[in-house]
Amino acid sequence: MSSHTSSEDCLGWAARDPSGFLSPYKFSRRVPGDDDVSITITHCGICYADVLWTRNKLGDSKYPLVPGHEIAGIVETVGANVHRFKVGDHVGVGTYVNSCRQCEYCEDGQEVCCTGGSTNTFNGIDFDGTVTKGGYSNYIVVHERYCYRIPENYPLASAAPLLCAGITVYSPMIRHKMNQPGKSLGVIGLGGLGHLAVKFGKAFGLNVTVFSTSISKKEEALSVLGSDKFVLSSDTEQMEALSKSLDFIIDAASGDHPFDPYMSTLKVGGTMVLVGFPSQVKFSPASLNLGMRTISGSVTGGTRVTQEMIDFCAAHGIYPNIDVIPIQYSNEAIERVIKNDVKYRFVIDIQGSLK
């Protein structure tokens, strides 16, 4: 019998109202079923999604709300039908914990695109009608399909941000064949997502250019992250010098910004993928049509490509740049996320600080 039961034995930190202020909260998880994995959470990354829902920015927050969908931990128990995991395995959980498992997308391992809608890891409605609660907590119960194996030699703290930030950029890079050595990649926005796009690009053998509106990020982009070129996007001459030179662009900037200047840097037939969420996307049809360019969007990724990404990171020594914090610092950390004051992902040490 599992040591994780359905009594109020799960300790987390929750927001109670749109102020988003987090404080200790006890609640119950469902009793693990035959297909479930019960996971002791060791680490959870802080994502901008945590800001959106704790503060009810989308108008659908269900309080008390326990955020967190970049979860890493250790298997505590497994159900009778679970064969992919055993007690003691290192595992991760990402942005969703259920889907219909029957539609064409689920059958193709693209559960994030489930026609019935995938169930969010927090603030979603689970199959039993309860509201899902995320990784700012000491354990979680998840169907094995939505769990990912983390290699034993890969640090759990580093694995956590891969489950949202990492897969958000890796998935479209694979889908649009941005893994061709010798090709050129531009990255807009050097934050949690952008810095991983740079790391993946270099691992794929691409020539990587970082765009930024801040000259202060130049040294970091070139010396720390290893990009090949840094371009101040507000400098017209620097932008014009890149005209028709890039095969791909990953746009990870969520603030409003012009699109035409960046699209002009794409080669004929080049591809730009939007992974951020500005309030609007506006560009001239000529930027698209005359260069036969493609602009695409993407969210996270299905179970198959997510596991592939984790294995790729372990095999190539790709680690997010993280700042590990105690859960008691989570309110301050979220304020800093809002101000873009983090290099490049806060990760909560759940096991070491949630008592």
Q: What pLDDT does 7 receive? A: 60
Continuous segment of H or E residues that includes residue 167: helix 165-175
What would the two tokens of residue 267 be? 């080669």
Give the separation between CA 9 and CA 40, rounded to whole angstroms: 12
Q: Is 196 exposed, middle or buried (0-12, 13-18, 19+ CB in 10 A)?
A: buried
pLDDT at 8: 74
**Tens place of pLDDT for every residue, the chain, 355 residues?**
345 555 679 999 999 999 999 999 999 999 999 999 999 999 999 999 999 999 999 999 999 999 999 999 999 999 999 999 999 999 999 999 999 999 999 999 999 999 999 999 999 999 999 999 999 999 999 999 999 999 999 999 999 999 999 999 999 999 999 999 999 999 999 999 999 999 999 999 999 999 999 899 999 999 999 999 999 999 999 999 999 999 999 999 988 999 999 999 999 999 999 999 999 999 999 999 999 999 999 999 999 999 999 999 999 999 999 999 999 999 999 999 999 899 889 999 999 999 9
Could you tell me the two tokens for 42? 């060791």
Q: Tokens 């039961």, residue?
A: 5
Give me the pLDDT at residue 79, please.
97
**Residue-wise burial string across 49-84, b where 16 or more C-beta atoms lie within 10 A, e elsewhere:** bbbbbbbbeeeebeebbbbbbbbbbbbbbbbeebee
Taking the CA atoms of residue 7, residue 62, residue 122 and residue 111 in that order, the dihedral angle to the nearest 10 degrees is 120
Q: What is the pLDDT of residue 2?
A: 42
Token pair listed for 352: 């070491």
91: left (phi over 0), alpha (psi -120 to 50) or beta: beta
Domains, the chain, ordered by start? 10-164+301-349 (3.90.180.10), 166-297 (3.40.50.720)
pLDDT of residue 254: 85
